[in-house]
Amino acid sequence: MASDDDGRGFSRKELRWLGIGIEFAVVICIFAYAGHWIDKLTGNKDAEFLITGFFIGFLVMFYYLYKSTKELRK
């Protein structure tokens, strides 16, 4: 339950950050899986696309997190 001050549940701000954390993980997994799929498709055994996909997903979500925190400060 979302409560703001009684200490028994999560506040709305905490739930928002929890949601962003889950989105962060899911997007990184999607990009990494896409890279893995490209590696399998091309027969690449070095996992270069998987690693590239991981970092692209991380950078995309880091930028999203930066924009989200910038909006919260206003």
Show me where the domains of the chain are located: 21-73
Task: Note the pTM of the prediction, 2 decimals.
Answer: 0.75
Instruction: State the pLDDT at residue 2.
Output: 47
Separation between Cα atoms, residue 58 and residue 40, nearest integer Å: 21
Question: pLDDT per residue over 16-74, tens digit each?
Answer: 778 888 999 999 999 999 999 999 999 999 999 999 999 999 999 999 989 888 876 76
Question: Is the pLDDT score of 14 beyond 80?
Answer: no
How would residue 8 be classed by pLDDT, with cut points 50, 70 and 90?
Answer: low
- Other CB atoms within 10 A of residue 56 CB: 17
Instruction: State the pLDDT at residue 12.
Output: 78
